[in-house]
Amino acid sequence: MSRIYFDYNATAPLRPAARDALVGALDAGNASSVHAEGRAARAMVETARVATARALGTRTDQVIFVSGATEAAATALRPREGERLLIGAGEHVCVQSGHSFPAEAVASVRLNPQGRLDLEDLHACLAEAPGARAVLALQAVNNETGVVQPVAEAAAIVHAAGGTLVCDAVQAFSRIPCSFAATGADILFLSSHKLGGPKGAGALAFARRDLMPTPAFIRGGGQERSFRGGTENVAAVAGFAAALQEAEAQREAETMRLVQLRDFLQAGVLEIAPEAAIFGQEAARVANSLAFALPGLAAETMVAAFDVEGVALSSGSACSSGKVAPSHVLAAMGVSPDLARSALRISLGWDSTTEEGVRFLEIFAKVHERMRRRLRS
């Protein structure tokens, strides 16, 4: 039997359309060259920029191609004079530790027990420094729980205080509307490999030109209109654009399909393991994500047991799941450390099937019984 891949929030398998675009551009010239080969490469990059700008609802000259979300966060989250950074307590580690604000100019905004940003605490954080211009870093969808964050509401609050909102839309794009109009954000960033595109590409987009990074975070030969130096990764950018267009075109149909599969899996997990705790169950979640814990069963042991049985899932963020410390996201939700250490995450995507869901529950029943029996002995 083929393996079951249920870890799309870590990385999505490469879509055939993205693979075709990637392979087709591998021999492309240098997009900064003026000869025919260079012009052809430039056309690929600019076609991708048009597609990205159209998907996010901004101008093409307000989109910068980067290597991924980590670079995007580090580029966007640099202090300007008089600014103070507010970070949602559940943000990805590339936001939590990737900014360059001094510690005294950073504050954390609480989550509620369902994993959504606490808007009352946001008001309180803004009131703490009324003379400072606030920059709020808030993801559109949490990567561990799938909980949808109140980005538009938070943006309205921050804008009323004269601030800006930087939105990590990595886990949200193709799952919920993510344009500037839909989110109210000022800056958005995406990562190719979360959409089924190649690794090594992403986009950083701006609602206004005055928000764009100066000086450039990576200085070099003046690429990306001098906002990001370095020879463009033409093949990865082409693959990214192909994945982005296909993912967005299929968003509504995929949402309907995946929410049925996610709910089927959730019901099956609770039937087999009534003691399971579902995280964010009462909040709005994207269709593809299911985060739960099995009290008393260590997550790393369960992940290994599923791997042996041919199932790939995770114990949280791929950037953090190999570490001993419990999830900072679950801690921010008030989940006890003991329960957090038992947290597992299933995340679905474009190639997930109902047949895989049925097989997973059969495997889950076997693994759960075996682990509980060991715990009792």
Instruction: State the CB neighbour count (10 A cutoff) for residue 216.
Output: 19
Instruction: State the CB neighbour count (10 A cutoff) for residue 81.
Output: 5
**Can you list the positions of beta strands (E) in 192-342?**
202-206, 277-278, 289-293, 311-312
Closest CA relative to residue 189, chosen from 299, 287, 25, 63: 63
Q: Which helix (H) or strand (E) holds 5?
A: strand 4-5
Q: Specify the pairing of strand 63-66 against strand 202-206.
A: antiparallel
Q: Specify the pairing of strand 83-88 against strand 106-109.
A: parallel
Tell me the CB-side half-sphere exposure of residue 106, using CA atoms within 13 A.
16
Maximum Cα interatomic distance, the chain, rounded to a whole number of Å = 72
State how far the Cα of 317 lies from the Cα of 145, in Å rounded to an integer. Answer: 10
Taking a C-beta distance cutoff of 8 angstroms, is the pair 153, 167 a contact?
no
Residues 180, 185, 189, CA angle at the centre, nearest 5°?
A: 80
- To the query of whether residue 94 is one of the catalytic residues in this protein, the response is no
By annotation, the residues acting in catalysis are: 319
